[in-house]
Structure 1
Amino acid sequence: MNTTQRALALGAAAALIQAIMLIAFAWPAVNTAPRDLPVVVAGPQATMVADKLAQRDPDAFEITTVTDESAARAAISDREAYGAIVTGGGQPQVLVASAASPIVAQTLTAIAGQLSGAPAAPVQDVVAADPDDPRGAGFGAMVLPLVMSGIAAGVLLSLLVPAVGGRVIGLFGFAVVGGLLSMAIVQGWLSLLPGSYLTLAAIAGLVSFAVAGTVVGLATAIGRAGIGLAALTMLLIGNPFSAATSAPELLPQPWGALGQLLPPGAAATLLRSVAFFDGAGAAAPLMVLLGWAAVALALLGIGALRGRRADEVPANAPIPVAA
């Protein structure tokens, strides 16, 4: 392949990547809709409301009936539901949690108004988003920089640090410093998240380690092709399907569920759970991030063993004797 052919091939490959990125980022946005969205209904007309919701769209909601308003509030606070419709005593009351998803809160408010026949049904935000970020725009924009910086750190460590031990040290250093600095900005300056600074910094550090570690681990285990594989996985699948600006149940399936198994989606869910819900629902995303970190370390270990064996072969090989 001559220079002209190589240039044309690279240009075509770049255009293909561009097209794939447009699809990956735009397709979920234009196909946002409730899909088995967990909600609860309560009160004397709960069965009637549940039937109306099911008739409106059979696949939109996963409806659970509870006894009263206190049980509905508990389900929201425990992240078992995104919202509730409480009947009895006149007009239905809508309970939402904008901290879990401002888009879902708006959707439930609109639907409850349609069910009650009133343009503005009474709404109470049980778990509100941060007052400095009521629509969650800042929170949604926070995830991509964490992913991008993790990819950048992984690429730099893979290309500039040849020793596996040095890469591991660099990963831990990036995770600690990156977690502390990022939460100093997010919490101290921008005021996007409430809660313990050190706990949130530890989560940001774990996210940084998981993303950067995946890049470094794959590069160590399979070579430079691993850098591209890890970066594309995090950017083309992980970020657009992270549901950082919406909710996993609003995305086309199974992509919404798959996004929660990747570091960007797990990061968004874990940060929401710890910052706004006192840790409710944090176990699953925490295990996902720890799993990615463990896989990264395992890949680094495999790369180290492979490099050690490659170094030992020449040392043990017989030395030819000149005749």
Structure 2
Amino acid sequence: MNTTQRALAVGIGAALLQALMLIAFAWPAANIEPRDLPIAVTGPQAAMVADKLAQHSPGAFEITNPADESAARAAIEDRKVYGAIVTGDGAPRVLTASAASPAVAQQLTAIAQQLSGAPAARVEDVVAADSDDPRGSAFGAMVLPLVMSGIAAGVLLSLLIPASGAKLVGLAGFGITGGLLSMAIIQGWMSVVPGNYLVLAAVAGLVSVSVSGTVAGLSSAIGKAGIGIAALTMLLIGNPFSAATSAPELLPQPWGAIGQYLPPGAAASLLRSVAFFDNAAATKPLVILLIWVAAALALLAVGALRNRPTPPAPAPARTRELVTA
């Protein structure tokens, strides 16, 4: 293949990658709608409201019926549901949690207006997003930089640091420093995420190591192709399906669910739980991130064994005899 042919192949390959990125990022955003979205309906007219919702939007909601408003609030605070409809005191009231998903909170507010028949429905935000980021825009935007910087760190470690032990030192340094700096910016400077600074920094550092470690680990285990596999997985699947700006149940399925098992999705869920919900529902995303880190360490170990220098073969017996003579 001459230079012109290689240039044409590179251009076509880049165009195909561009098409994949457009599909990965634009398709989920264009198909946001509730799909088995967990909400609660309580009160004397709960059954009637649930029937209306099922008839108007079949398959949109997964409805539970807590005993009363207090139980519904507890379910929201425990991240078991995204919101609740409370009946029995005039027009239905809607409880939302913009901290869990501003997009869902907006949809539930629209439902409240439809149920009440009034433009100003009774809506209460039980767990609100940060007052400096009421629409959750900054929160959603911070996941992509964590992913991109993690990919960059993994690529640099793969290309510049040959020894697996040294890569571990680099990953540790990146995770600790990156976590502290990122939360100093997000929480200290921009003030868009509440909660304990050190805990949030630890989460950010864990996310950074899970992404960068996967890139470095795959590269160490299978070669440079591992860089591309890991980077494209995080960027083209993990990030657009992370639900950082929406909710997993608003995305096309099964991709919304799959996204929660990749570091970007687990990161968004864990950060929400730690920052806004007093660690409620934090166990699952935490375990997922720890599994990714463990897998990265295992891949680095495989790479270390793969790249271990082979000891020289012993000299043949006849050669040793001649040398001795």
Normalised to the residue count of structure 2, the TM-score between the two structures is 0.96
- The residue that corresponds to 1:86 in the other structure is 86
CA distance, structure 1, for counterparts of residue 117 and residue 315 of structure 2? 89
CA distance, structure 2, for counterparts of residue 237 and residue 316 of structure 1? 47
The root-mean-square deviation of aligned C-alpha atoms, in Å, is: 1.4
Unaligned runs of 5+ in 2: none
Residue correspondences, number: 320
User: 1:106-142: per-residue Cα shift (whole Å, max 9, x none)?
Assistant: 1001012112222221000000000000000000100
Give, in angstroms, the shift of residue 214 of structure 1: 0.2
State whether residues 215 and 230 of structure 2, in contact with CA within 8 Å, keep that contact through their aligned partners in structure 1: yes
Give, in angstroms, the shift of residue 280 of structure 1: 0.5
CA distance, structure 1, for counterparts of residue 156 and residue 234 of structure 2? 16
Unaligned runs of 5+ in 1: none
State whether residues 43 and 86 of structure 1, in contact with CA within 8 Å, keep that contact through their aligned partners in structure 2: yes
Give SS of 2:65's match. Answer: strand
Give, in angstroms, the shift of residue 316 of structure 1: 2.5
Give 1:219-258 correspondences, 5 Å limit.
219-258=219-258
Matched, 1:316 2:298: no
Give, in angstroms, the shift of residue 307 of structure 1: 1.5
- Compared CA separation, residues 317 and 120, structure 1 to 2 (3 A): farther
- Compared CA separation, residues 17 and 52, structure 1 to 2 (3 A): same
Give, in angstroms, the shift of residue 318 of structure 1: 4.2
Give, in angstroms, the shift of residue 192 of structure 1: 1.3
- The residue that corresponds to 2:111 in the other structure is 111
CA distance, structure 1, for counterparts of residue 63 and residue 18 of structure 2? 40
Q: Which amino acid aligns with 1:22?
A: L
CA distance, structure 2, for counterparts of residue 58 and residue 101 of structure 1? 21
Give SS of 2:41's match. Answer: strand
CA distance, structure 2, for counterparts of residue 316 and residue 287 of structure 1? 45
- The residue that corresponds to 2:295 in the other structure is 295
Give 1:1-323 correspondences, 5 Å limit.
1-308=1-308, 311-313=309-311, 315-316=312-313, 318=315
User: 1:290-317: per-residue Cα shift (whole Å, max 9, x none)?
Assistant: 0000000000000111112xx124x135
Q: Give aligned-pair identity as a percent.
A: 74
CA distance, structure 2, for counterparts of residue 317 and residue 121 of structure 1? 85
CA distance, structure 1, for counterparts of residue 106 and residue 176 of structure 2? 37
* Aligned structure 1 segments of 4 or more residues deviating by more than 6 angstroms: none
Q: Which amino acid aligns with 1:305?
A: L
State whether residues 154 and 215 of structure 2, in contact with CA within 8 Å, keep that contact through their aligned partners in structure 1: yes
CA distance, structure 1, for counterparts of residue 213 and residue 260 of structure 2? 18
State whether residues 52 and 115 of structure 1, in contact with CA within 8 Å, keep that contact through their aligned partners in structure 2: no
CA distance, structure 1, for counterparts of residue 98 and residue 252 of structure 2? 21
CA distance, structure 1, for counterparts of residue 315 and residue 140 of structure 2? 60
Q: Which amino acid aligns with 1:81?
A: V
Give the number of the structure whose alpha-carbon radius of gyration is greater. Answer: 2
CA distance, structure 2, for counterparts of residue 307 and residue 156 of structure 1? 18
Give, in angstroms, the shift of residue 245 of structure 1: 0.3
CA distance, structure 2, for counterparts of residue 55 and residue 241 of structure 1? 28
